[in-house]
Amino acid sequence: MKEFFIILGLLLGYTLSSIYVDFVAGWRYMYASSAPVCLIMGIGMWWLPPSPRWLLLSATQGKQDITTIKQLAVSCFCRLRGQATDSSSLQEVDSILDELRADLEKQVTIGEIFQGKCLKALIIGGGLVFFQQVTGQPSVLYYAATILQNAGFDAASDATRVSILIGLLKLIMTGIAVFVVDKIGRRPMLIGGVSGMAISLFLLSTYYTLSKDLPFIAVIALLSYVGCYQVSFGPIGWLMISEVFPLRFRGRGLSIAVLVNFTSNALVTFSFSLLQDWVGTASVFAGFGVVATAALVFIYFTVPETKGLTLEEIEAKII
C-alpha cells in the first residue's frame, strides 16, 4: 500500500506536469500543487497509532506500567488490523514482550551488525533495495519523457503526456501486487518480475541499436519494464526490508537499507545522462539488463520466502 500511494502521487505529478509543461516557469506551479497534500499528511499523522512493539519496548525498560502498556499494545494491534480484541492478540503481545526482554539483554553493537543473522539480514535487505535502484528504475522514472522523445515523440508536451500512461500502468500493476502478494508469495513475484525487467531492458537496448524506425518497440519495452517492476522490486523491496531485520537490529538495519536505497537512486539518477553521452543509450540499457540478471541470481540464492510468517518466525528462519 505504501508503494501504491507513492505511485498514485507519481501519476498525479505526471498529470500536473502535462498541464504545466507549456507554462512559463511551470515548475513553480508543481510545488504549489504539492503543498495541500503535505498539509493533509501532517494533520493525518495526529491519528496514527503508535507501534505496539515500540510501546512494549518501553515496558521492558521499566518506563511504563506493564499491564497498562500491554492493554494499549493489544488495542493498537486491533486498531491497525481492524478487528475486535481477542485472546490471540494478547498471546501475540506476550510473545513479542518475551522476545524484547531477551533482546534487551543482547543489544546489537556496531560490530555485530556485520556478523551472523544481522549480516545476513543486511545483505538481503540492502541487496534488494540496491538492485531495486541500479536496475534502472530511476532512469525510467525521471527520464521517461526524454526516452519517449528519443523514441519518436518529438514535442516535449507529447512525451510528457504519454508518460501519464506509464504512471497509470504503474498504479494498476501495484494494485495487482497488493492483492496477490500474500497469495503468490514474495520470491515468485520477485523472480518473475525481475526476469521480465531484464528482458524488457535488453529489448529497449535492441531498439536503440537496430530498430529506431519502430518507436512502438521502445514504448512496449518501457511499459513492460514498468509493469514488471511494479509487481516485484517496487512494492516487495520495501515490504521485505520491514520483515527481515531482527527486532533488536531493526532500527539500525532499516536505516542502513534506506541509506543504500537513496544512495543508489542518486547514483543512477545523476549518472544516466553522463553514461548516455559516454557509451550511448543502447549500451546503458544493456548494462541495466545485465544488472537485472545479476539481481535475479541474487534473489534466487539469497532471498527467503516470508509469506504468512510473523516477524519472530522470519528472524528464526534467517540462519
- In this prediction, residue 157 carries a pLDDT of 63
Mean pLDDT of 156-160: 64
Mean pLDDT of 146-175: 74
What ranges do the domains of the chain cover?
Answer: 49-104, 111-317
**Which range has the top average pLDDT, 3-12, 78-87, 285-294, 305-314?**
285-294
Per-residue confidence at 95, pLDDT binned at 50, 70, 90? confident
Q: How far is CA 35 from CA 9, 30, 177, 275, in A?
A: 13, 9, 29, 34
CB 170 within 8 A of CB 10: yes
The mean pLDDT value of the chain amounts to: 83
Mean pLDDT of 166-186: 90
Alpha-carbon dihedral sign for residues 208, 211, 214, 219: negative
Mean pLDDT of 61-74: 78
Digit-coded pLDDT (tens) for 193-223: 999 999 999 998 888 888 667 777 877 888 8
- In this prediction, residue 106 carries a pLDDT of 61
CA 16, 20, 21, 26: dihedral to nearest 10 degrees?
-120
Map 144-157 to HEC letters: HHHHHHHCCCCCHH
**Bigger pLDDT: 191 vs 59:** 191
Classify domain 111-317 at the CATH class level.
Answer: mainly alpha
Per-residue confidence at 151, pLDDT binned at 50, 70, 90? low
Per-residue confidence at 150, pLDDT binned at 50, 70, 90? low
- In this prediction, residue 5 carries a pLDDT of 87
Taking alpha carbons only, the member of 296, 2, 302, 288 closest to residue 140 is: 288
- In this prediction, residue 123 carries a pLDDT of 92
The neighbour count for residue 277, using CB atoms within 10 Å, is 10
**Which range has the top average pLDDT, 3-17, 44-58, 91-105, 294-308?**
294-308
**Bigger pLDDT: 268 vs 248:** 268
Range of lowest pLDDT (43-47, 89-93, 109-113) = 109-113
Q: How far is CA 51 from CA 69, 161, 172, 233, 252, in A?
A: 12, 41, 30, 25, 17
CB 7 within 8 A of CB 167: yes
Per-residue confidence at 143, pLDDT binned at 50, 70, 90? low
Digit-coded pLDDT (tens) for 101-116: 766 656 666 777 777 7
Mean pLDDT of 105-132: 81
Per-residue confidence at 63, pLDDT binned at 50, 70, 90? low
- In this prediction, residue 173 carries a pLDDT of 92
Range of lowest pLDDT (1-10, 187-196, 214-223) = 214-223
- In this prediction, residue 152 carries a pLDDT of 66
Range of lowest pLDDT (45-49, 115-119, 173-177) = 115-119
Taking alpha carbons only, the member of 213, 238, 3, 273 closest to residue 129 is: 238
Single-letter amino acid code for the residue at 255: S
Taking alpha carbons only, the member of 309, 183, 287 closest to residue 243 is: 309
- In this prediction, residue 290 carries a pLDDT of 95
Measured in whole angstroms, how far is the alpha carbon of residue 60 from the centre of its chain?
32
In the chain, % of residues over pLDDT 90: 26
- In this prediction, residue 227 carries a pLDDT of 92
Mean pLDDT of 124-145: 83
